[in-house]
Amino acid sequence: MLIIICGLPGSGKTTLAKSLSKRFEAVHVSSDITRKRMYPKPSYSEEEKASVYAGMVDETKEHLRQGRDVIADATFYRENERQKFLSLAVDAGTGAFVIMTVLAEEEIMKRLARRKKGGISDADISVYFKVKGLFEPLVGKHLAVDSALGERDKVRMVQEFIGR
C-alpha cells in the first residue's frame, strides 16, 4: 500500500505521516529528510525540488518492490508529482491513497513561526505562500484531514478511508 500525504507547509503532513507509519508499520518517505540528506542547506529551487522528488520516487519504488507499505510525505503541490507516485503503486500491484492535510491559515502561521532553524523542515512563511500560490487542485478520490483534530480521530478517518 502507498499513502501519499500532501498539503501546504505547516499543515501537519509529517505529524500525520509519522502516526500512520507507526499504525500501519509502513516506511515513512519524507521530502524533508530526503532534502536534508541531499542538500544540507536547501534553496528550494525548482531543480532541487525535482531531484528531491526523484530521490523519493527511487526510495518509494524500492520499498514497494520489496513488499513494504509506504507513507510518502511531501507537499505534492503539483498533480504530475502525485500521479507519478500513484503510478508506482500501480506498477507494484498495490493500492494507493491520497490524503491532504488541511489547517486554518492562522494556525499554520503560528506553527511556522515556532519552527526552529536547523530543524528537519526549513519551510517558513515565505515558502508557505509560494507553495500556496502554486498548489494544483487534487484530482480523483482523496481524503482531506483537518490537522486540528486529535491524533486518534485523524488516524481513524484514514483507516476508514483506506478500508483498514
**What is the pLDDT at residue 119?**
62
**What is the pLDDT at residue 160?**
96
What is the residue range of 80's domain? 2-162
The total number of structural domains that make up the chain? 1
**What is the pLDDT at residue 117?**
62
Average pLDDT by stretches of 10, the chain with 164 residues = 97 96 97 91 86 97 97 97 96 97 95 74 84 94 97 96 90
The residues near 130 (Cβ < 8 Å, ≥ 6 apart) are: 44
C-beta neighbour count of 23 within 10 angstroms = 14
**What is the pLDDT at residue 44?**
78
Write out the DSSP string of 20-89. HHHHTT-EEEEHHHHHHHH-SS----HHHHHHHHHHHHHHHHHHHHTT--EEEES---SHHHHHHHHHHH
**What is the pLDDT at residue 164?**
77
**What is the pLDDT at residue 59?**
97
Output the domain CATH number for residue 111. 3.40.50.300
What pTM was estimated for this model as a whole? 0.93
The residues near 140 (Cβ < 8 Å, ≥ 6 apart) are: 98
